[in-house]
Structure 1
Amino acid sequence: MAISGKIIAGIKMPDSVIAKQATELLREHGRDLLYNHSLRSFLFASLNGQQNDIRYDAELLYVSAMFHDLGLTAHYRSSDKRFEVDGADAARNFLIGHGVSPQSLQLVWDAIALHTSPGIAEYKEPEVALLNYGVALDVVGKGYNQLSNTDRDEIIKLFPRSELKKNIIPTFFDGFKHKPHTTFGSMNADICCCMIPDYKPQNFCDAILNSPWSE
């Protein structure tokens, strides 16, 4: 289904070359679950921006949404970085090729790198805060009651959830099971605890007590 330029739940989908190419990359490297999740996250984020009269760059928010989970995929994931950083790096490299300004490059990088960082992202620039909101709404239902039944039904009809509750945890885990150490200090450590028998995540208190300082 071509989505470029369509109006969905009152939100016009970006139809620029950058937006179209970002969508194509997500389609090429991400499965349906990530594709639909990313589109829903953009729409939920945009609706929140619209409802709260927040000024934001729709194209940059869209690209951020398209790339925010691509760091989980085989094509983009690294062996030693958090998946959020892999996705942020991929988006920055993509946008550099389109001559995007350094300020916009950093904005998109931050939006993706911080999308799993509640308590920080919401205090950043609108695009960063909105992406965090949209992703949280889709994954854990934060702000669910602020979404109208009409908008919710229209979005899910076009981008179905496909048993997201059942499938999203193993999808996340598959993206960083080869590097569980990168989840230290993030909510992704909870996924490792859920998916790896007897997994013991790194502990910040232990890191302090076992530091090389003598006192």
Structure 2
Amino acid sequence: MISNLDEIKVPDSKIIQDAQGIVKEYGNELIWNHSNRVYLFGEIKGMQDNLNYDKELLYITALFHDLGLTEQYSSSDLRFEVDGANTVRQFLETYNYHEHDLQLAWDAIALHTTLGVAEHKEDNVALLYHGVGMDVMGDNWEQYANDIRKAIVNKFPRGDFKHDVIKAFYDGFKHKPETTFGNIKSDVIKYFEPEYPQNNFCSCILRSKWDS
């Protein structure tokens, strides 16, 4: 089990610096700290499990995974995860990434909140999902040494993350609540708007134009 943050080498290339610049310009302290913690938690799991993945791509997707919540990158009609996925694809295309890696990055961000699916995809996709899960909900908590958890939070503070991130989710898609139908983010809308007429899959079936 990794217990020293110095054991982790964070990628530091031109593309990484450019990606960091975008997050610093259009994100905020909450997104910056969360994204870096997500990368570190994902990287540690990848190292400990001896997985085969692209570290640079993992860091870039960690940096970009919540940009769909920002005013700059939020669309009017797509899930925020898809906005982030589209953003990372456009960014990587300017660096002539291969199509396979473009799709891998897109999938990682688009699926990072999709429970029961992302963890069964390619290692890069699964590790972003696990990194997010650890930082947001404490998933796989015991896989991380206490010293490493403390070191990561010391370097990238959480503040009042539990409450701040829920509010950030809401602010990021309250203008398009319909995009949360069928995914866990509908819980966020309901948390802030108890009277919101949450859609229901069974109702969609029963209201269809089919006779039976």
Deviation per CA, 1:112-169, whole angstroms, max 9, x where unpaired? 0000011000110000000000000000111112111111111111100011012110
Instruction: Show the counterpart of 2:62.
Output: 65
**In structure 1, distance between residues paired with 2:107 and 2:189:** 24
Pair 1:159-2:170 in alignment: no
Instruction: Show the counterpart of 1:10.
Output: 7
Q: Which runs of 5+ in 1 are unaligned?
A: 1-6
**In structure 1, distance between residues paired with 2:198 and 2:32:** 30
Pair 1:134-2:119 in alignment: no
Alignment counterpart, residue 197 of structure 1, candidates 194, 199, 208: 194
Instruction: Show the counterpart of 2:91.
Output: 94
**In structure 2, distance between residues paired with 1:8 and 1:65:** 18
Alignment counterpart, residue 144 of structure 1, candidates 120, 141, 144: 141
Larger RCO: 1 or 2 (CA < 8 Å, sep 6+): 2
Count of residue correspondences: 209
Say which is worse superposed, 124-133 or 147-156, in terms of deviation: 147-156
Q: Which runs of 5+ in 2 are unaligned?
A: none
**In structure 1, distance between residues paired with 2:6 and 2:116:** 28
Instruction: Show the counterpart of 1:4.
Output: none
Amino acid at match of 1:128: V
Instruction: Show the counterpart of 2:114.
Output: 117
Instruction: Show the counterpart of 2:38.
Output: 41
Instruction: Show the counterpart of 2:100.
Output: 103
**1:20-31 to 2 correspondences below 5 Å:** 20-31=17-28
Q: Which runs of 4+ in 1 moved over 4 A?
A: none
SS at structure 2 position matched to 1:12 = coil
Alpha-carbon distance, 1:9 to partner: 4.7
**In structure 1, distance between residues paired with 2:127 and 2:65:** 13
Query: How many percent identity over aligned positions?
Result: 49
TM-score (norm 1): 0.95
